[in-house]
Structure 1
Amino acid sequence: MAPVATSRSFRTLQIPAALGFGLKARYTPIENVPTLFDHKFIVDRYSPKRAAVVDYYSRLPPDRLSWRVITNISSKQINKAVLRNRLKRRWASAFAEALKNHGYYHNGRKRRGPKEGKKYIPGLTGTLEILIFSDRGITCPHSELVGASHALVKSLVRKVQQLAPKAESIQDNDAQDVGGSNKRAGGVSSSLWSLWRKLL
């Protein structure tokens, strides 16, 4: 079971090509981060839903992109819950189609290449929250929503590529630290070798 992240270290994604749609996004490279709705159950230790929510997020598979569409529209702006749910479903369908057009499954894994093994390269990982602030998505054509989602996927791919070298450098530093400690523990240091050559 994977550990559940209790902190929500999200950063805003810049989507300049999607202006006018009321579309914003927050991303974190940390996996299994609960949404804002589920986070309140995890923080509250007396909540009856806490165990179920923690169990759900702990069972999510690794190397995946967890994403969810959140409509930040009040009931005054859209007074019917049916329309608010329709807006959420349309944006979710458009984003899933944009991922497919970029060569990813809905969970961020690449469509091409090995699914596991040494040559396996993970695709998009982390947690993404798609925030909707406009009711334009209810009436506009589906192609326009897909176009705005394309801009979101492009900015997400750039963000993941920017964070990938940092994660690799951290892993390399950890490996060097482990290798250095092994040499110090079981091997002979270079200073001792130089001293031994001088004695010869």
Structure 2
Amino acid sequence: MPEVLPKWLQQHIRRDHVIFLLDNWDRLTADERIEIAQWIAEVDQIGPDVFWTVAASAEGTGPLVEVGFVPVEILPPTNNAVLERVHLGWQTLFEKEPSATDDICRAKLEEALHAGAPLWELHLRTILYFETGDLPDRPIDVMDRLLKVHLSTVDLGRGYDAVVVQAREIAGRVLAAAAAQMKRDCRPLSLADLKELIEAQLLP
């Protein structure tokens, strides 16, 4: 089975540290799970430093355990200790000193947690806070501001500032629409999907 992998990927597996992140395990049939688990075991023998993380529910992981996987249960954030670890972790990574507004950030995180925010949202809120000091209420505003912070633009020279700003806004809307569609449809987007999203954002 490993021979079906692209050659560039086989080369990386043989000489580099490689981490595979696999999702949608639950969508496989029982026979497919056995087949894929055996395939993973074969690929694992190609290189010395191949690591795997497979996202799955509590059921259906037997084939993975049989080939050497260790099941780990990830519990949802349910208490303030998790919030404190998230806050302190990003504060350390950003090398930020304690601030008078940190308590406001923690309060916002607690509000989001009680409103049902997933862990990734708590991380995004904290990252935005340490990067910009912003503490938006709505998740969509958090992601919108992060996109504006991290979405790079190309220097087209003098006279093209308006074009650059417009392109950046369009790119942000396309990314947001793509994320929403992938979440709704539970599948990756095709090139045709992306083309349709981009064309929908362009002016006639």
The two structures share one fold, judged by TM-score above 0.5? no
User: Bigger radius of gyration, 1 or 2?
Assistant: 1
- The structure where strand makes up a greater share of residues is 1
Higher relative contact order (CA 8 A, sep 6+): 1
TM-score by length of 1: 0.26
